[in-house]
Amino acid sequence: MKKFYSLIAVAALASVSFGQEKTIIDEGFSFAQGIGANDGIWNSTAGSGTGNTIADGVHASGFSFIKSYAANSAIKLGTGSAKGEITSPAFTGIVGGNATVTFQSAAWNGANEKTTLVIEILNGGTADLAEITLGKGSFTTYTINVTGANANTQINVAAKDAASNRFFIDSFKVTTQSTLGTIDYTEASKAVANTLWTNTASFNVKDQANVEVYNINGQLVKSFQVKGTQTVNVSDLVKGVYVVKTTSNGKTSTQKVVKK
């Protein structure tokens, strides 16, 4: 019964919408040419001088800073007595209200340095984390999932405490899911000889063809080339519904398949 239901489900699909990750913010802070972080220095006050100070407010990068300094292609935030914070640009270009924020961060490598950062969403939206705890002496990548966001949404990352809560931040990225469009299927697409796969997939193409296999979320999970009548091992694919895109001589066909 379960197998029969799967086949009916595939047969009922007339089209599928493909999505892909869309980057709306991507900042590596290469404009920061000071001391600290990417040069392996995590606790030198030499990088906190006047020449490395970043003015409070909105920077040319679109980020806003408070108590920040240029580290080595990274940003150092806070002092021994004042907390630092960073606010992203608006999530312009967001699709569907969901966004994923990733960044690298590390605490100042001092014996009594605090390590908690507070996450706040501004102008609409909810984050799945309210706080994160940093390590010292090396970067860790953190991921924040934001729901209910809009084009004006921003994310603020700040030290929890004013005193001795300094931190570094780098590789700040915000992504969303964009829809590429809808592919309609016709029975004319017969490059895939068997649409019910176990451990192998059979193809029948006249010339060499590029084959791409997508899951139902539109993610590319496998790609290869075939020519003529050929069988390909697909045992690495998990059970489920897939879309197979075959391109040969500039022409593309798509078919639905089920992996048992």
Q: What is the domain-level CATH number for residue 25?
A: 2.60.120.200
141 and 222 assigned to the same domain: no
146 and 58 assigned to the same domain: yes
Share of the chain above pLDDT 70, in %: 85
153 and 235 assigned to the same domain: no
Give the distance, in angstroms, between the CA of residue 255 and the centroid of all CA atoms in the same chain: 28
Give the total residue count for the chain: 260
Average pLDDT of the chain to the nearest whole number: 86
Give pLDDT, residue 10: 41
111 and 146 assigned to the same domain: yes
159 and 74 assigned to the same domain: yes
Q: Render pLDDT for 65-90 as a digit per residue (tens, 0 to 9).
A: 999 999 999 999 999 999 999 999 99
Average pLDDT value for residue range 179-208? 74
Q: Please tell me the pTM assigned to this model.
A: 0.66
Q: Render pLDDT for 131-183 as a digit per residue (tens, 0 to 9).
A: 999 999 999 999 999 999 999 999 999 999 999 999 999 999 999 976 544 44
Q: Find the largest Cα–Cα distance for the chain.
A: 72
150 and 241 assigned to the same domain: no
Residues 6+ apart with CB under 8 A from 109: 42, 43, 136, 137
> Which region among 42-56, 99-113, 223-237, 242-256 has the lowest average model confidence (pLDDT)?
42-56
Residue 42 lies in a domain: yes
- Sign of the four-CA dihedral 184, 185, 191, 194: positive
Q: Render pLDDT for 51-65 as a digit per residue (tens, 0 to 9).
A: 689 999 999 999 999
Residue 187 lies in a domain: no
User: CA 99 to CA 96: how far, in whole Å?
Assistant: 9
Query: What's the domain range around 251?
Result: 196-259
**Count of domains in the chain?**
2
Give pLDDT, residue 247: 87
User: CA 57 to CA 64: how far, in whole Å?
Assistant: 5
Residues 6+ apart with CB under 8 A from 207: 227, 248, 249
Domain CATH code at residue 214: 2.60.40.3080
Give pLDDT, residue 15: 53
Query: pLDDT class for 191, splitting at 50, 70, 90?
Result: confident
Give pLDDT, residue 2: 36
Give pLDDT, residue 18: 53
Give pLDDT, residue 50: 57
Give pLDDT, residue 189: 53
